[in-house]
Amino acid sequence: MRDRLYRLACGAPYWASLVLLALVMEGVALFYQYWLEYWPCVLCIHVRVWLLGLMVAGGLGLLVRHRRWALVPAHFLVVVVAAGILERSLKLLGTERGTLEGGCAMESGLPAWFALDKWFPAVFQVMEPCGYTPELLFGITMAEALVVFSIGLLVLAGVMTLVVLTTRTK
């Protein structure tokens, strides 16, 4: 089982799937923004930034998948990204449910050297204060789905990182 997981963790399909997953999620967010007119709040934008990080991590993993010494940091980067998405998603869910107050402004909070909201406003511009997220399917809101997704990604990334760290190669 460990060998199969190790082959998966080193394989191009795994890393390409992470990139594709992040692209699809960004596409869904943009569909909701531009076609259904659910404008993004600052927490939504932060999740989009983390998804960009997942694309970068997946691309990095694709490039270094044959070098074990570089593969471990790539897997760890996916863990960090998943934890970042989870933290933002929990805050978004708490804001949506009214259990968290504050920390939501109309400014992105991104530093000047990483001003994605200025460089790519169509994707990263904050357009609405926090309060709710749209319903996706079966009464599940986007915030709820993001929490479940990020927990799954965190578990997957953690397992893959441990497999790569503990498997001896020949």
Domain boundaries, the chain: 2-166
The residue among 4, 5, 10 whose CA lies nearest residue 159 is 5
Model confidence at 170: pLDDT above 60: no
- DSSP output for 75-91: HHHHHHHHHHHHHHHHH
Whole-prediction pTM value? 0.88
pLDDT, residue 3, reads 84
Residues 6+ apart with CB under 8 A from 119: none
Tens-digit pLDDT profile for residues 51-66: 999 999 999 999 998 8
pLDDT of residue 101: 67
pLDDT in tens, 66-120: 888 888 999 999 999 999 999 999 998 988 887 776 657 777 777 889 888 889 9
Q: Which segment of 31-35, 121-125, 155-159 scores lowest on mean pLDDT? A: 121-125
Q: State how far the Cα of 73 lies from the Cα of 76, in Å rounded to an integer.
A: 5
Q: Which CATH architecture is the domain 2-166 placed in? A: Up-down Bundle (1.20)
Q: How many helices (H) and strands (E) does the chain have?
A: 7, 0
